[in-house]
Chain A
Amino acid sequence: MHNHFELFGLAPDFALDPEALERSYREIQSRVHPDRFAHAGDAERRASLQWTTRVNEAYRTLTDPVQRAKHILELHGVDVAFETNTRMPPDFLVQQLELREELEGAVSGKDAAALERLRADLVGNRQALIRQIGEAIDSRKDYACAAGLVRKLMFLDKLDEEIEAAYEHVE
């Protein structure tokens, strides 16, 4: 059991079936979860803790599009280097700056409706990007292109976090 997909008995596709993943996750959890070993000895409790931790980590990775894509790219030996490689297309960066300005405007104007609009747009953009990543990885096997798209998706996720934090100020 080397990678997260194998752990759940799934094919290593970006477009995975969320229901199959959840079924498999629950089936495994129902066998390894610490609740099953509350009365067992230390060795079994330790093993259960380790396994459940691993299964939760794998599940978390596969349910998050960015993490799932990174995992697949790593399996294909693509050095993602997301932390150091921050070069992005200029038009994308301009767009991101504009969105952040809108966000700041919504915060300073305490405009909850504007936050909702920003978030709704973001949801749409994320879905489109996730579709493109799926095509790049699963159909075209163009991992370099996929890595670029994943970096974009990370920008959107960061914005999503910032919108989330902004709610605290607006409310």
Chain B
Amino acid sequence: MSAAPHEHRLAVGIDLGTTNSLVATVRSGMATVLPDELGRPLLPSIVRYHPDGRVEVGYAAQARQASDPKNTVVSVKRFMGRGLRDVAHVENAPYDFIDAPGMVQIRTAAGVKSPVEISSEILKVLKSRAELSLGGELSGVVITVPAYFDDAQRQATKDAGRLAGLNVLRLLNEPTAAAIAYGLDNAAEGIYAVYDLGGGTFDLSILKLSRGVFEVVATSGDSMLGGDDFDQRVFCWAVEQAKLPPVGPRDMRQLLMKAREAKEYLTYHGEAPFTARLSSGDLVDLSLDTETFSAITQTLVRKTLGPVRKALRDAGLTVGEIKGVVMVGGATRMPQIQHAVAEFFQRDPLNNLDPDKVVALGAAMQANVLAGNKPQGEDWLLLDVIPLSLGVETMGGLAEKIIPRNTTIPAAKAQEFTTYKDGQTAMSFHVVQGERELVADCRSLARFDLKGIPPMAAGAARVRVTFQVDADGLLSVTAREASTGAEASITVKPSYGLSDAEIERMLRESFEHAKEDVQARALAEYRVDGQRLLDATRSALAADGALLEPHEVEAIEKALRALEQALPGSDARAIKQATEALNRATDEFAGRRMDEGIKRALAGKKIGSL
């Protein structure tokens, strides 16, 4: 089912990190990170809001984080898809938090901002960096997320991409991206572990690498553990040593920066100076040696080994069966981490790719494949898993697992439920994610009611609830009552996800400053979508037109011509409708092509095995 030859599509991979973000692409077959105009590859994930609505991102914002801490948001990734009570060290973050339902928000000089909006500012900068560098509009992007991100965090990331005007081809797990970059560079075969300690998240994935296939066997981690926590420990140590009273936001931000510097300095030195002039005029003048640093952070280091053991057990593997451990994330530079990993796996970890860049490089390689820039045969297959079990609340506040963790995605599972009262016409569902038995200990993803169940005796109604997890690891839930033939169906978008209306409102707000027109942008987006579908349909007809009867070809071509005519016009709705019509017209064709693909796969295998 290869596509007809086409021009090279501009596709990039984005590592949206807690501390730093990067954008990379594949040029002349090589994955490279795209630097800014000053040649700097990293973009600090820091966003500063001005009272007039202007936004600064990156180094400029970083330079002002201590002087304007309330309006300068660092490590926003920690807040993605999180309520206030889920955020660690909330007392040590210098922001005006607002506990909005589902996801926390931050009050800035430019108004209340959600983590999705703040993240989209980072993505916008990377988008324009890439478009400037590549000389054209991006066709699609891959954004990486920690493998251990739950559905809420993934949905928030995808929403941020949409808000930044990106066509998100896929959310890719960070350790998987690293494995792609590492595996392709080293022609690696066998079972590998990826130990990914970023600024705010920890992932451990175990992958089976074989020619052309990257298969995640198990994944584990802690989405609230990262390099930031080591800074926090140093910060607390400094406050204690210097006997400081509770500090204000400015001092806090400054001391946290100094803590980070000291931590990084200790990677290459035995002792680090820690000096800071507080706003009171007092001087903090301390010295942190390696032994003290190791002592105050050893519980954090040990905390990473729990998920490592869990992933090995889930995979049914022993340490001896792991061929190599790939180190990812700036925090793995700490000698304490290197030693702990070497000791656990009884082998030296692999550090031959830059731990800051490897995720972005792998994402770029995957984006290149998803954009269809690689001919079939030279590309690869990626089989990833869901990191946390999905379930529903049952009687007594217990969570019943429907899709267990480490299930290969896409995956779906249906479960039947029934009414417990006579004449009951509605049922409530509560969708949760996590491994614990009690619903209260799991993450609440969505609540919804299925109404319109015909009144029956208790236990007579049959409500079928279907969980579908797509290739991004995102969940949708459908409930249907089918016992009487009268069906009621509902598709749930998890409650923290942004509705289209919210996205539009946010876009409108951001355009007030960007002087761009929402409608112009919608038109441009519909045109891109329409053109993409035109191209895809034409190459599908060229490759597999023989699967259709002449009248079916005619129907598709009619819809194709209608879209072709609508595209150059300025009626966004007409383009959208023509696109949808062509989508409908190709429904049956798509199914038949898929059947044909499977037939060919089996035929090919039989020839191969003879």
Contacts of B471 in A (CB 8 A): 33-35, 49, 52
Interface residues on A, range: 35 or more
Q: How far is the CA of A20 from the CA of B470 in the complex (A)?
A: 26
Contacts of B533 in A (CB 8 A): 41-42
Q: Please state if A43 and B586 are interface contacts (CB–CB under 8 Å).
A: yes
Q: Please state if A39 and B370 are interface contacts (CB–CB under 8 Å).
A: yes
Q: How far is the CA of A48 from the CA of B212 in the complex (A)?
A: 20
Q: Please state if A39 and B9 are interface contacts (CB–CB under 8 Å).
A: yes
Contacts of B170 in A (CB 8 A): 35, 38
A44 within 8 A of B: yes
B1 within 8 A of A: yes
Q: Which of B213, B410, B582 contacts A41 (CB 8 A)?
A: B582
Residue in B closest to A161 when the chains form the complex, CB atoms: B404
Q: Which of B169, B409, B586 contacts A39 (CB 8 A)?
A: B169
B468 within 8 A of A: yes
A101 within 8 A of B: no
Contacts of A44 in B (CB 8 A): 536, 540, 586, 590, 593-594
Q: Please state if B169 and A38 are interface contacts (CB–CB under 8 Å).
A: yes
B589 within 8 A of A: yes
Q: Given known contacts A57-B411, A167-B309, is B586 in contact with A28 (CB within 8 Å)?
A: no
Q: Please state if A35 and B598 are interface contacts (CB–CB under 8 Å).
A: no
Q: Given known contacts A34-B471, A53-B410, is B532 in contact with A41 (CB within 8 Å)?
A: yes
B140 within 8 A of A: yes
Q: How far is the CA of A24 from the CA of B372 in the complex (A)?
A: 23
Q: Please state if B590 and A24 are interface contacts (CB–CB under 8 Å).
A: no
- Expressed in whole angstroms, the minimum distance between the Cβ of A42 and any Cβ of chain B is 4
Contacts of A7 in B (CB 8 A): 598
Residue in A closest to B408 when the chains form the complex, CB atoms: A56
Q: How far is the CA of A18 from the CA of B512 in the complex (A)?
A: 59
Q: Please state if B590 and A47 are interface contacts (CB–CB under 8 Å).
A: yes
Q: How far is the CA of A57 from the CA of B586 in the complex (A)?
A: 26
Interface residue ranges of A40-63 to B (CB < 8 Å): 40-44, 46-53, 56-57, 59-60
Q: How far is the CA of A48 from the CA of B410 in the complex (A)?
A: 10
Residue in A closest to B534 when the chains form the complex, CB atoms: A41
Q: How far is the CA of A46 from the CA of B584 in the complex (A)?
A: 11
Q: How far is the CA of A45 from the CA of B597 in the complex (A)?
A: 14
Residue in B closest to A45 when the chains form the complex, CB atoms: B590
- Expressed in whole angstroms, the minimum distance between the Cβ of A164 and any Cβ of chain B is 6
Q: How far is the CA of A31 from the CA of B1 in the complex (A)?
A: 7
Contacts of A26 in B (CB 8 A): 213, 381
Q: Please state if B605 and A23 are interface contacts (CB–CB under 8 Å).
A: yes
Q: Which of A28, A43, A48 contacts B583 (CB 8 A)?
A: A43
B396 within 8 A of A: no
Q: Please state if B383 and A51 are interface contacts (CB–CB under 8 Å).
A: no
Contacts of B169 in A (CB 8 A): 38-39
Contacts of A39 in B (CB 8 A): 3, 9, 139-140, 169, 370-372, 532, 536
Q: How far is the CA of A33 from the CA of B409 in the complex (A)?
A: 10
B457 within 8 A of A: no
Contacts of A38 in B (CB 8 A): 140, 169-170, 370-372
What is the total number of residues of chain B having a CB less than 8 Å from a CB of chain A?
55
Q: Which of B370, B371, B410, B584 contacts A43 (CB 8 A)?
A: B584
Q: Which of B140, B383, B412, B537 contacts A57 (CB 8 A)?
A: B412
Residue in B closest to A6 when the chains form the complex, CB atoms: B602
Q: Which of A20, A33, A164, A171 contacts B381 (CB 8 A)?
A: A33
Residue in B closest to A48 when the chains form the complex, CB atoms: B594
Contacts of A168 in B (CB 8 A): 310
Q: Please state if B213 and A53 are interface contacts (CB–CB under 8 Å).
A: no
Q: How far is the CA of A108 from the CA of B407 in the complex (A)?
A: 31
Residue in A closest to B604 when the chains form the complex, CB atoms: A27
Interface residue ranges of B287-328 to A (CB < 8 Å): 306, 309-310, 313
Q: How far is the CA of A72 from the CA of B204 in the complex (A)?
A: 36
- Expressed in whole angstroms, the minimum distance between the Cβ of A133 and any Cβ of chain B is 20
Q: Given known contacts A35-B381, A49-B470, is B605 in contact with A41 (CB within 8 Å)?
A: no
Contacts of B594 in A (CB 8 A): 32, 44, 47-48, 50-51
Q: Given known contacts A41-B586, A43-B584, is B597 in contact with A167 (CB within 8 Å)?
A: no
- Expressed in whole angstroms, the minimum distance between the Cβ of A94 and any Cβ of chain B is 27
Residue in B closest to A59 when the chains form the complex, CB atoms: B408
- Residues 374-390 of B, flagged 1 when their CB comes within 8 A of A and 0 if not, give 00000001110000000
Residue in A closest to B1 when the chains form the complex, CB atoms: A31
Q: Given known contacts A26-B381, A41-B536, is B370 in contact with A35 (CB within 8 Å)?
A: yes
- Residues 176-216 of B, flagged 1 when their CB comes within 8 A of A and 0 if not, give 00000000000000000000000000000000000011000
Contacts of B51 in A (CB 8 A): none
Question: Which of B590, B600, B606 is the most central at the interface, judged by chain A CB atoms within 10 Å of its CB?
Answer: B590
Contacts of B600 in A (CB 8 A): 31
- Residues 447-470 of B, flagged 1 when their CB comes within 8 A of A and 0 if not, give 000000000000000000000101
Residue in B closest to A163 when the chains form the complex, CB atoms: B313
- Expressed in whole angstroms, the minimum distance between the Cβ of B386 and any Cβ of chain A is 11
- Expressed in whole angstroms, the minimum distance between the Cβ of A28 and any Cβ of chain B is 5
- Expressed in whole angstroms, the minimum distance between the Cβ of A91 and any Cβ of chain B is 29
- Residues 529-567 of B, flagged 1 when their CB comes within 8 A of A and 0 if not, give 000110011001000000000000000000000000000
Q: Please state if A24 and B381 are interface contacts (CB–CB under 8 Å).
A: no
Q: Please state if A43 and B587 are interface contacts (CB–CB under 8 Å).
A: yes
Q: Please state if B583 and A41 are interface contacts (CB–CB under 8 Å).
A: yes
A11 within 8 A of B: no
Q: Please state if A30 and B601 are interface contacts (CB–CB under 8 Å).
A: yes
B284 within 8 A of A: no
Q: How far is the CA of A54 from the CA of B170 in the complex (A)?
A: 20
Q: How far is the CA of A44 from the CA of B595 in the complex (A)?
A: 12
Contacts of B468 in A (CB 8 A): 49, 53
B369 within 8 A of A: yes
Interface residue ranges of B7-25 to A (CB < 8 Å): 9
- Expressed in whole angstroms, the minimum distance between the Cβ of A95 and any Cβ of chain B is 24
Q: Which of A23, A35, A164, A171 contacts B369 (CB 8 A)?
A: A35
The 10 closest A-B pairs by CB, nearest first: A31-B597, A38-B370, A47-B590, A34-B471, A43-B590, A41-B533, A44-B590, A27-B601, A9-B602, A42-B583
A-B residue pairs in contact (CB < 8 Å), sample of 29? A8-B602, A24-B602, A27-B604, A28-B601, A29-B383, A30-B212, A30-B381, A33-B471, A35-B382, A38-B372, A39-B370, A39-B532, A40-B536, A40-B540, A41-B586, A43-B586, A43-B587, A44-B536, A44-B586, A44-B590, A44-B593, A46-B587, A46-B590, A47-B587, A48-B590, A48-B594, A49-B470, A51-B594, A164-B313
Listed in ascending order, the chain B residues whose CB lies under 8 Å from chain A are: 1, 3, 9, 139-140, 169-170, 212-213, 306, 309-310, 313, 366, 369-372, 381-383, 407-412, 468, 470-471, 532-533, 536-537, 540, 582-584, 586-587, 589-591, 593-595, 597-598, 600-602, 604-606, 609
- Known contacts A34-B471, A44-B593, A49-B471; can you find 18 more A-B pairs with CB under 8 A? A9-B605, A27-B601, A28-B598, A30-B601, A31-B597, A34-B470, A35-B381, A39-B140, A39-B370, A39-B532, A42-B533, A42-B583, A43-B583, A46-B590, A48-B594, A49-B410, A51-B598, A56-B410
Listed in ascending order, the chain A residues whose CB lies under 8 Å from chain B are: 1, 7-9, 20, 23-24, 26-36, 38-44, 46-53, 56-57, 59-60, 164, 167-168, 171
